A and B are shown apart, each in its own frame.
Chain A
Amino acid sequence: MDELMADLKEQIEVQLKLKNIKREDIGNDQPLFGEGLGLDSLDVLELIVLLKQQYKLRVSNPEDGLKVFRSVRTMAEFITANRVQNT
């Protein structure tokens, strides 16, 4: 789980071009949106693409995305849960 979260932080930093925020600044439970990292709805779309490209997981609507992408931990949980289902 920790390894997965570290990977995710790196991928988020790169995919979303976070210039002023480094991967080590992102907390596991820090909200990604709003007051947290300040991400917005366009970032949700980028994160959906990230999940599809890196983990072959599909989030089909942005509303579900908001739950999945609440924090790095919720993303990791979603990936772990759905990976298990697939095997």
Chain B
Amino acid sequence: MMKAYIRSAITISPQKTFNSPAFLNDLVEYNSNRLTSIEPDYSEAIDPRLIRRMSRIIKMSVASALACLKDAGIASPDAIVTGTAYGCLEDTGIFLTNMVQEDEEPVTPVAFVQSTHNTIGAQVALLIKCSRYNNTFVSGGASFENALLDAMMLLSENNAANVLVGGMDEITDMSHIVLSRLCLYKRQLVSNLNLFNINSKGTINGEGAAFFLLKNIPSANDLACIDAVATLYKPNDVAEIQQYIHSFLVSQSISYSDIDLLIFGNNGDSKNDEIYTQLQQSVFNGTPSINYKHLCGEYPTSTAFATWLGANIIKNNNIPIALDYQETSKNKINKVLIYNHYQNIYHSLILLSSC
């Protein structure tokens, strides 16, 4: 499959990443197990008459998508593909609550309409009158990866010269309560900036929306290229993960030493992070690495944030100091490999390179 050129990348996240000229030079600290996206004033990005019905995830996503298209100078792409594990939770919660409380009397049709998982892809298409390919993946922790794979297949098929692809998930008050009851998050007060220094159970809840405009041909201002994306489902043991990483690198005709930087999905949960430690002590021994989930929190489509981060690191040839990176002798970052697993169900690899 041919590589994809990232023409633009936009994210709204718990960090100052939207409309910000600087690249993560001033990290936002949260003393809570719930990170919340920093939302811009949407009235500049979206027609105010249309905003009134939009839930938070729709606003975050639509604003990111439109900004991404604007950055790339593209009015309407050849395809729109989104990935979201939970979809529009807020509208789902509103409709369910009303339905139960009003005992099935007619309630809030708009919440029902906007609870469907394809609402974001559809809203973007409707706003820019894009009648082309439109798809939405809801594959848990591999939702963004599937959207990316679909986008890259489209670019290879020559039916699409450019694809808008995004990953997004939101936290709602209800979802945070429910997920907390599943014991996913740290119980003691912890600063996100100190996430990897405390060895304890649980992670911090996160959210965000990230969009990318991918093209099948290079242009002068590309941030980076996406060489490949691959997923591994429920591996039996670390040996199988190692084998999978090995085959992935072989398929890309590169070796471990070609990787200039690893972006790891460590989330602060001691059991969850064991896998990364084992890989770092074996196949990735000696490869420089950084983490990202202290910035955006843990959520099923967090690799969309990691892709935004990796693309910007390549573009700037610079790793923000705040990422606590140990300097090495490499003076040019050409290849960045993102390795993440979500609850040890879906594992994924995304390989980025300089163009």
Q: In their complex, do chains A and B touch, with some C-beta pair under 8 Å?
A: yes
Give A contacts to B, CB under 8 Å. 16-20, 38, 42, 45-46, 48-49, 52-53
Q: Are B105 and A52 in contact (CB under 8 A)?
A: yes
Question: Do A49 and B49 touch (CB < 8 A)?
Answer: no
Instruction: Given A19-B48, A48-B106, A49-B108, output 19 extra A-B contacts at Cβ < 8 Å.
Output: A16-B52, A17-B52, A17-B53, A19-B51, A19-B52, A20-B52, A38-B49, A42-B109, A42-B110, A42-B113, A45-B109, A45-B110, A46-B109, A46-B110, A49-B107, A52-B105, A52-B106, A53-B106, A53-B107
Interface set, chain B 97-114, CB cutoff 8 A to A: 105-110, 113
List chain A residues, Cβ under 8 A from B48.
19-20
Q: Chain A CB within 10 Å — which of B49, B105, B107, B113 has the most?
A: B49
Complex contacts, A46 vs chain B, CB 8 Å: 108-110
Return chain B residues, CB-CB under 8 Å to A42.
Answer: 53, 109-110, 113
Provide the residues of chain A in CB contact with B105, threshold 8 Å. Answer: 52-53
Closest to B110 in A: A42
Mark B residues whose CB is within 8 Å of A.
48-49, 51-53, 105-110, 113
CA distance A57 to B109 in the complex (A): 17
21 contacts between A and B (CB under 8 A): A16-B52, A17-B52, A17-B53, A19-B48, A19-B51, A19-B52, A20-B48, A20-B49, A38-B49, A42-B53, A42-B113, A45-B109, A46-B108, A46-B109, A49-B106, A49-B107, A49-B109, A52-B105, A53-B105, A53-B106, A53-B107
Residues of A within 8 Å of B107, CB to CB, are: 49, 53
CB nearest to B53 among chain A residues: A17
Chain B min CB distance to A23 (Å): 15
- Chain B neighbourhood of A18, CB < 8 A: 52
Alpha-carbon distance A57/B108, docked complex (angstroms): 16
B52: chain A residues at CB < 8 Å are 16-20
Q: How far is the CB of A78 from chain B (nearest CB, A)?
A: 18
**In the bound complex, how far is the Cα of B108 from the Cα of A19, in angstroms?**
17
Minimal beta-carbon separation of B31 from chain A (angstroms) = 32
Of chain A, the residue at the smallest CB distance from B112 is A45
Nearest B-chain residue to A18, judged by Cβ: B52
Residues in A with CB closer than 8 Å to B110 are 42, 45-46
User: CA of A53 to CA of B109 in the docked complex: distance in angstroms?
Assistant: 13
Question: What's the least CB distance linking B259 to chain A, in Å?
Answer: 48
Q: Which residues of A contact B51 (CB under 8 A)?
A: 19
Alpha-carbon separation in the docked complex, A18 to B48 (Å): 10
A66 to chain B, nearest CB (A): 16
Chain B residue with the shortest CB-CB distance to A38: B49
Query: Nearest-CB distance from A18 to chain B (Å)?
Result: 6
Bound together, the chains give a CA A14 to CA B48 distance in angstroms of: 16
Which residue of chain B is the closest to A19 with respect to CB atoms?
Answer: B52
Q: Which residue of A lies closest to B49 (CB)?
A: A38
CA distance A19 to B113 in the complex (A): 20
Residue of A nearest to B114 (CB): A42
Closest residue on chain A to residue B43 by CB atoms:
A20
**B284 to nearest A CB, angstroms?**
50
Distance in angstroms from A69 CB to nearest chain B CB is 14
A75–B286 alpha-carbon span in the complex (Å): 73
Kindly list chain B residues whose C-beta atoms are within 8 Å of the C-beta of A49. Answer: 106-109
CB distance from B63 to the nearest CB of A (A): 16
A52 to B105, CA, bound (A): 9
A45 vs chain B, min Cβ distance (A): 4
Residues of B within 8 A of A17 (CB): 52-53
Residues of A within 8 A of B109 (CB): 42, 45-46, 49
A3 to chain B, nearest CB (A): 26
A16 to chain B, nearest CB (A): 7
Which residue of chain B has the shortest Cβ distance to A15 in the bound complex?
B108
Most buried by A among B105, B108, B110: B110
A19 contacts across to B, CB distance below 8 A: 48, 51-52
Bound-state Cα–Cα, A17 to B58, Å: 15
Q: How far is the CA of A18 from the CA of B108 in the complex (A)?
A: 15
CA separation between A77 and B168, bound complex, in Å? 46
